[in-house]
Amino acid sequence: MGPQRSYGREATQAAFLLGGIGTGNVSIGSRGDLRDWEIFNRSAKGQKLSYSFFSIAMRRPDGETVAHVLESRLVPPFADSHGIDPNQVAGLPRLEDSSLWGEYPFVYVDFEDESLPLEIQLEAYTPFIPHEPDESGLPVAVLTYRVVNTGSEAVDVTIVGSLMNAVGWTGMADFGRVKTDCFGGNVNEYLEEDGLKGLHLTSGKHPEGSLLHGSLALATTNPKTTVKRHWLRSGWWDYIREFWDDLADDGVLTDLGYTEPSEEGKYDVGSLGVVETIGPGESAEFRFVLSWYFPNRVHNWDQRKADGSCGCDCEQEAVRNRYAARFNSAWEVSKYLVENLERLEELTRTFHGALFNSTLPAHVLDAVSSNITVIRSPTCFWLEDGRFFGYEGCFDDAGCCSGSCTHVWNYAQTLAFLFPSLERSMRETEFGVETNEEGWMSFRAHHAFPSDRSWDEMEAASDGQCGSVIRLYRDWRLSGDTDWMKSLWPGARRAVDYACATWDPDGDGVTSGKQHNTYDIEFYGPNPLSGVMFLGALKAASRMAQEAGDAEASKRYLDLLERGSVNLDGALWNGEFYVQRLDDVDAYKYQHGVGCLADQLLGQVNAHIAGLGYLLPTDHVKGAIGSVFRHNLLTDFSEHDNAQRTYALNDEVGLLACTWPEGGRPRIPFPYSHEVWTGIEYQVAAHLIMEGHVDEGLAVVKAVRDRHDGVRRGPWNEVECGHHYARSMASWGVLLALSGFSFDVVEGEIGFDPVINADEFRCFWSTGTAWGTYSQTRNPETGGLAWDVDVLHGSLEGVKVKVEEP
Amino acid sequence: MGPQRSYGREATQAAFLLGGIGTGNVSIGSRGDLRDWEIFNRSAKGQKLSYSFFSIAMRRPDGETVAHVLESRLVPPFADSHGIDPNQVAGLPRLEDSSLWGEYPFVYVDFEDESLPLEIQLEAYTPFIPHEPDESGLPVAVLTYRVVNTGSEAVDVTIVGSLMNAVGWTGMADFGRVKTDCFGGNVNEYLEEDGLKGLHLTSGKHPEGSLLHGSLALATTNPKTTVKRHWLRSGWWDYIREFWDDLADDGVLTDLGYTEPSEEGKYDVGSLGVVETIGPGESAEFRFVLSWYFPNRVHNWDQRKADGSCGCDCEQEAVRNRYAARFNSAWEVSKYLVENLERLEELTRTFHGALFNSTLPAHVLDAVSSNITVIRSPTCFWLEDGRFFGYEGCFDDAGCCSGSCTHVWNYAQTLAFLFPSLERSMRETEFGVETNEEGWMSFRAHHAFPSDRSWDEMEAASDGQCGSVIRLYRDWRLSGDTDWMKSLWPGARRAVDYACATWDPDGDGVTSGKQHNTYDIEFYGPNPLSGVMFLGALKAASRMAQEAGDAEASKRYLDLLERGSVNLDGALWNGEFYVQRLDDVDAYKYQHGVGCLADQLLGQVNAHIAGLGYLLPTDHVKGAIGSVFRHNLLTDFSEHDNAQRTYALNDEVGLLACTWPEGGRPRIPFPYSHEVWTGIEYQVAAHLIMEGHVDEGLAVVKAVRDRHDGVRRGPWNEVECGHHYARSMASWGVLLALSGFSFDVVEGEIGFDPVINADEFRCFWSTGTAWGTYSQTRNPETGGLAWDVDVLHGSLEGVKVKVEEP
């Protein structure tokens, strides 16, 4: 509840990603700037697109015109080796200040400048409709500037978007110059079609199958435009001079009349302006549609293979993006968007309202919504054939840690609830492609999508493989699609049997031996991470086996679960939490031993979310997760001695991956033991809330988001082993936990049991078939509870709603 | 007068360069951190050397030990894609706060931590003795930590330096890892020799001629050491864990006993600790000597040729650094330093005292001293054969803009006064090598040192070529070495005759036609930058010709000067300043026309410094430079419309390269016209002061240094077209101007005429043969002036001192 945080221009890490699923992105920075142009099928943090920015010119009745770059002023440092590059037009006047806030998928920037009688606000978004991945997968951004004239006379306001024709883009060279090798034959056209007017930027140089093939478009639905298709073709920075003088003179652009494509090694910048006359006290909207179309991505997990060190004629095998199946150019994308704008925008606003018009705490909404970004970041991609893949996260310039890694995506909940078909595509890959005849599952999907590195010799990941079984169960219960579950059951059964044979050879239901896991090492012997996840997999598998008509397996798994639950609890419970049992914790490197592992109950929280219930004694589970909070939440890091990577420091607050409250730290504990991962923090927060430790769970969420304040870290970019890290999508679990949401579309029932603001509660929900809002209000006089489920998309036909009356 | 500014830990741009002339550098950051390891014969801004840092452990009598990294805490952003890399040990505890200040060549860091009963101060420097380039050219840094025990009990304090054996360094790979291809066979030895104890880090892998060949050493003169020659050879980040646990346990290091060199693809980190027991109220010094030895640099202006994309066996032609002629290893460097420490340190402190114990304003001392850094930055290099070269500045990773560019170095004064023999080496290159038979001078020295790009077809630079003639005169008068001047006279005469024939074909003494210049374009027609510089060259040439026995040329130049002075003044003086005269300013691109060019009197100020006097009517010169201040100093940049590079913005103050106070801006003015260059600002400031506009000159200097506040820009790195830009060495002229220093060692006279704090004045001075301090005090009662010249180095034998009595 309450408004989202806003970020001033000093919040240099606040970058709000626009762009659809599998389309790449351009971000809006806290100064209202366009930044991080990641439209070329890979991440590109810090990548600026030269001369691509908005400007505003205001012309008074007497003709006096003032022009500004439509960004607020730059913030330090200003220490670039050659001054700030002209391609950022940093030397042109800007507005005094700005303030950005985001409510995904919408971002707003308020500009302030006392010298202008104008109030200027930018709203930007890319259509986002849960359960409609195609409509949420458009390579486009809608940017609407709303300008109010607060002065006493009418003024003409021109807002101009400038955009380089980046078809042929291969990066930056020295002196702030663009690498020019692959430019030439670039064409900037001005088109008007069905209420859409604007620039279409193409090139004849790169054939359809080329990684460099593509187009961009900058268009508007406003009627009155002013256009400069090409900036001055000249040396030095003459073109900026000419553009700025032209704009600042009278707010009207002059087309320079060029008719030829760009010369070899050259590109052009084009500018599209919208002009509105605004009377005193009146306002106007300037709507721009920015679209891009780079349909081909390199057919390899190593995106740096696309670096083009072999020049423009590089022959790299390409594969097409999903959006390429629907469109042939950026202009077509813009046309489609405008033709369908009413529906796309309405449903996007419906989702936004459903999520944010909620009584959940603001920082929870922040955590839940901001990490949706991962799905539409360069961490993920989506192919023409419908398959969805994800890295773990991103380097600055490429995806990092390939293969929809099962043990990382294990923590993610967001995708399953917002785009369940895409989440199911990952199960299809896991059980349909990556699980071999012996049941060994490659925890990185490199059979489904190629990699130069072979993972075939790698151990299976016990947490990832067992976690996928739980997730299969979750996705089945969410969708109610039993046929789909059954189609994957053979693979899942092999995977479960492999897990039993490999990690529980003695059949006591407690995993032992060498257990590779998400810490990139192997745990040995009985340990809670592997062990509890295994129990969850057994419970899920037992139920799925039953439904698949595999009664023998179902019973076998259930028996093993019952044994395992007792045995694991007996072996690992230390009275306060679950520990790893090893006679000599230093016999192997990288164990945790008697440490308090934050992830000790990951299997349990995932089981809870999937609807599998308790795997271990309830009181022990409740106690253990409480112990994790008590021991692992560090409220000041200044004396923490972490020899690993640093995600929290100084006076920050964060939840440690492991602590040793009673001593007993191994000489060399597992890598990451001293680190702080938001994905762990969220799963623990969700679990704390589920087990009744609501305040504790909220405190953990608050700690995470306080660290991501735009100055220290990006609010829409929770980093772990890469930007936009998939594990951060554990944050969706916090929404599930606070609303007490349960679902079983197979059985036809969903339920709510809010644990916060229960007297006046509103929250978003989704299943695999529908989404909407749930609200309940307690009558303060009668004590009775009135509740309502509003289905905003899809259908709950045949599904009952169960509300817990206290 | 007054102390130098200090920089808090938020001043992320404050990096103080250690290292000698032509040796490369390592810098001290505002947190007391070692940063920007530029020891590998090229610039490397932002380059961290893994695991290379200092730590402090304090052990109480009860054995309780606390350990901290001896840096203050990190400052935002913390947004690296993978958290902060372990190689920065960012997760280990640090001290609360710090404050850095520098008085070149000394830097100080005060550390603060309320939890420790210790006051800790670092002093660091590299020996710097004007007129002794070899002693100022040692690849070494002396770091002394002074620790005061403010507690009530004695404590054992251990300060530990850790350093990676970086022999084989080729940069960083993903995940914060070092590129390992060229490591292997690395040897970490502990040596004790003649009071020096420490680690010598070498490798057997790279032969003597290889670009990767070299060594490092970390040693101490303190008697009690504790050593870990090698960190744990293990996986992940185990070695940090082991090192830190070892240190934090009791402040004593355990050597792990390895005897073999590192394996192929591996390197080792070594740690050297110094232990001192410090009683209550007592203090101790911990002195470390850090040296490096990478004798070979690539024999090409393009330093990226050394990138080694061909692997470790790259055969790139190498050339040896000057220091390689004296030493064979880093250990030898350290030994030499320690053996000569008393003299080196004393003379360094003498210079420091002479410069800073002055009544010049603090911001002037700041400007004058800070840009000395350029000489000892990666912008310059110095070869075994004694030749000294400079880029214009540096990219982040390599020198930028090759060839000791005459038109950029034209502004630099610092080197001529501090290391005149090196400055003379540049004249020898210019007139001895780069001036061809026709008198065309390559304004980039690519004949003397190779470049893959041919500059032979390039126009001569009128300002650079004429400026070199003035600088030859300056260097002659500074040194009194007439034989040296005569040896270069033939080349200089050809250069002057070429200038006359090329830029003044009609012999009216006013340059015209096409005049390439420091704005990287050509001015056409009569213009003050070229024209005045030409007059200065004529005056200098006339005098040198006379001395060289070339009376005909002497008279010819003098006649031309006289004509030119009258004609130029007549043609270009607009009543307020000097303008360019062109019938149609837009007939050529990139002119300035009637604009007020800040550089219009560069030739005049250089003539003043050289002792050539006025070239144009005195009142016009005084008026014109005043006009430059009035028109070109912009006190707020927020509405400035600069389409070029940005060096000043928002509410900053700076001097514009050109303005058009009466209008008449060309459609496309010259590149850089709207920029702010510190080199121009300083030459204008010096000139303002010389012409009596003292407050105005000081205001310009203040503006420059205010922009370099450590948060926005680096105080020891004034950037223009590259880091540590050579033009910034114009700042020395401000010292000359304020002290009214004149010199003519040929005639045997130097003079002083302070224009600030004249009643109580102290200032550094130097000629080509001596340096020291000048002081004067006015008796407030008698009004009489007592003055003193203290010769601190060299000799003024045969030189009279002339002091202007008012």
Q: Report the candidate in B658, B659, B657, B638 with the shortest Cα–Cα distance to residue B649.
A: B638
What is the predicted pLDDT for the residue at B194?
A: 87
User: For testing the chain B interface, which of A43, A58, A82 should be mutated: the one with the most B CBs within 10 Å?
Assistant: A82
pTM over 0.90: yes
pLDDT value at residue A114: 97
Q: Could you tell me the sign of the dihedral formed by the alpha carbons of B351, B353, B357, B361, in that order? A: positive
- What length does chain A have? 806
Tell me whether residues A93 and B641 touch, CB distance under 8 A. Answer: yes
Residue B367 · residue B699 · CB < 8 Å: no
Question: Given an 8 Å threshold on Cβ–Cβ distance, is B91 in contact with A645?
Answer: yes
Chosen for mutation from A236, A675, A718 (greatest number of chain B CBs closer than 10 Å) is A236
Confidence grade of residue A309 (pLDDT, cut at 50, 70, 90): low
Counting Cα atoms < 13 Å in the Cβ hemisphere of B544 gives: 34
Of A85, A589, A711, the CB nearest to B76: A711
Cβ contacts from A onto B, under 8 A: 213
Q: Write down the pLDDT at residue B315.
A: 74
Amino acid identity of residue B559, one-letter, is D
Scan for tokens 């790449």, then name that residue.
A24
Of B90, B92, B238, the CB nearest to A668: B238
Say whether B82 and A719 touch across the interface (CB within 8 A): yes
Q: Which residue of A has its CA nearest to B671?
A: A236
- Condensed to tens digits (0 to 9), the pLDDT of residues A334-379 reads 999 999 999 999 999 999 999 999 999 999 999 999 999 999 999 9
Is the distance from CB of A168 to CB of A184 less than 8 angstroms? yes
Tell me the helix, strand and coil percentages in chain A, rounded to 5.
30, 25, 45
Q: Quick count: other Cβ atoms within 10 Å of Cβ B65? A: 18
Our CA-based measurement puts residue B114 at a distance from the nearest CA of chain A, in whole angstroms, of 13
C-alpha to C-alpha distance for B692 and B686, rounded to whole angstroms: 10
Q: Specify the residue for token string 């003519």.
A: B744
Stretch A662-670: mean pLDDT? 97
Confidence check: pLDDT of A2 > 80: no
Q: Please give the residue of chain B at the shortest CA–CA distance from A394.
A: B81
- How far is Cα B287 from Cα B143, in angstroms, rounded to an integer? 6
Contact A91 B649 (CB under 8 A): yes
Residue range B240-257: mean pLDDT, rounded: 98
- Between strands A25-29 and A65-72, the pairing is unpaired
**Whether B428 contacts B536, CB under 8 Å:** no
Nearest-by-Cβ selection for A713 from B77, B400, B669: B77
Q: Please say whether the beta carbons of A110 and B749 come within 8 A.
A: no
- DSSP bridge pairs for A123: A108, A144
Per-residue pLDDT at B75 exceeds 90: yes
The strand pair at B800-803 and B749-752 is best described as parallel
Whole-angstrom distance, CA of residue B590 vs CA of residue A236: 10
pLDDT in tens, A423-474: 999 999 999 999 999 999 999 999 999 999 989 989 999 999 999 999 999 9
Of B81, B175, B646, the CB nearest to A396: B81
- Per the CB < 8 Å rule, is A645 touching B84? yes
Percent of chain B scoring above 70 in pLDDT: 99
Q: How far is CA A527 from the centre of its chain?
A: 31
pLDDT of A245 over the 70 cut: yes
| Mean pLDDT of the residues in chain B | 97
Q: Report the Cα–Cα distance between both ends of chain A, in Å, rounded.
A: 23
- The DSSP output letter for B662 is T
Residue of A nearest to B243 (CA): A643
- Provide φ and ψ at A208, rounded to 5°: -55, -35
List the helix and strand counts (H, then E) for chain A: 16, 36
* CB-nearest partner of A643 from B237, B667, B668: B237
Tell me the chain A residues in contact with residue B668 when contact means C-beta distances shorter than 8 Å: 234, 236, 238, 241-242
Q: Do A638 and B713 touch (CB under 8 A)?
A: no
Please answer whether residues A98 and A112 qualify as being in contact, where contact means their C-beta atoms are separated by less than 8 angstroms: yes
Place of tokens 């749930």: A774
**A17's tokens:** 């990603």
Whole-number pLDDT of residue A315: 74
Provide the residue type at A744 as one letter: D
CA distance A794 to B41: 65
| CB < 8 Å to A642, chain B | 91-92
CB atoms within 10 A of CB B804: 13
Pick B79's closest partner by Cβ from A82, A714, A722.
A714
The 10 Å Cβ neighbour count of residue A798 is 10
Q: A88: distance to nearest CA of chain B, Å?
A: 9
The one-letter amino acid at B769: T
Q: Kindly indicate the confidence band of residue B3, based on its pLDDT and cuts at 50, 70 and 90.
A: confident
Cis bond upstream, residue A76 (ω within 30): no
pLDDT at A670: 98
pLDDT of residue A310 exceeding 70, the answer is: no
**pLDDT tens, position by position, A38-68:** 999 999 999 999 999 999 999 999 999 999 9
The fraction of chain A above a pLDDT of 70, given in percent, is 99
Cβ distance B638 to A713 less than 8 Å, yes or no, reads no
For residue A39, give Cα distances in angstroms to A293, A297, B607: 8, 11, 55
- Which residues have CB under 8 Å from A265's CB, separation 6+? A180, A181, A183, A184
Give the DSSP letter of residue B703: H
Crossing angle, helix B462-479 and helix B482-503, to 10 degrees? 160
A74 contacts in chain B (CB < 8 Å):
649-650
Q: What residues of B are in contact with residue A92 (Cβ under 8 Å)? A: 641-643
Q: Supply the ipTM of this predicted assembly.
A: 0.97
**CB < 8 Å to A666, chain B:** none
pLDDT at B787: 97
- Which residues in chain A have Cβ-Cβ distances shorter than 8 Å to B236? 521, 590, 644, 668, 671
Q: Which phi and psi angles does B8 have, rounded to 5°? A: -75, 175
8 Å CB contact of A78 and B646: yes
Q: Which residues have a Cβ under 8 Å from the Cβ of B653 and sit 6 or more positions away? A: B633, B634, B635, B636, B703, B706, B707
| Vertex A86: Cα angle to A84 and A89 (nearest 5) | 95
CA distance B298 to B210: 10
Round to whole Å and give the CA distance between A671 and B80: 19
* Facing residue for B722 by CB, picked from A73, A82, A241: A82
Please, are residues B98 and B109 in contact by the beta-carbon 8 Å criterion?
Answer: yes
The pLDDT of residue A1 is 46
Distance (Å) from the alpha carbon of A427 to chain B's nearest alpha carbon:
27
C-beta of residue A735 within 8 angstroms of C-beta of residue A360: yes
What does the H/E/C string look like for B432-497? HCCECCCCCECCCCCCCCCCCCCCCCCCCEHHHHHHHHHHHHHHHHHHCCHHHHHHHHHHHHHHHH
pLDDT digits (tens, 9 = 90+) for B702-738: 999 999 999 999 999 999 999 999 999 999 999 999 9
- Residues in chain B with CB shorter than 8 Å from the CB of A592 are none
**Nearest CB to B643; choose among A76, A79, A240:** A240
Q: Burial of A588 by CB count in 10 Å (0-12 exposed, 13-18 middle, 19+ buried)?
A: middle
Smallest CA–CA distance from A176 into chain B, residue: B645
Q: Which one, of B704, B724, B733, lies nearest residue B21 by Cα?
A: B724
pLDDT band at A545 (very low <50, low <70, confident <90, very high): very high
User: Nearest-CA neighbor of A85 among B263, B388, B391, B395?
Assistant: B395
Phi/psi at B314 (5° precision)? -50, 130
Locate the chain A residue with the closest alpha carbon to B401: A175
| B726, burial (CB in 10 Å: exposed 0-12, middle 13-18, buried 19+) | buried
Tell me if B105 sits within 8 A of B128, measured CB to CB: yes
- Token pair of B115, please? 């939890």
Are B712 and A396 an interchain contact pair (Cβ–Cβ within 8 Å)?
Answer: no
Query: Are A83 and B244 in contact (CB < 8 Å)?
Result: no
So what's the pLDDT on residue B1? 46
Cα A410–Cα A415–Cα A419 angle in degrees, nearest 5: 145
Say yes or no to pLDDT of A4 above 50: yes
- Among B77, B91, B643, the residue with its CB nearest the CB of A642 is B91
Q: List alpha helices for B518-617, DSSP H.
A: 528-547, 551-572, 602-610
Whether A81 and B400 lie within 8 Å, measured CB to CB: yes
Q: What's the token pair of residue A726?
A: 């998939």
> Is B394 in contact with A81 (Cβ distance < 8 A)?
yes
Q: Test B92 with A643 for CB contact under 8 angstroms.
A: yes
Q: Give the pLDDT mean for A272-291.
A: 98
Taking the C-alpha atoms of residue A57 and residue A246, their distance in angstroms, rounded to an integer, is 11
Kindly report, residue by residue over B264-320, the tens digit of the pLDDT: 999 999 999 999 999 999 999 999 999 999 999 999 999 999 987 667 766 789 999
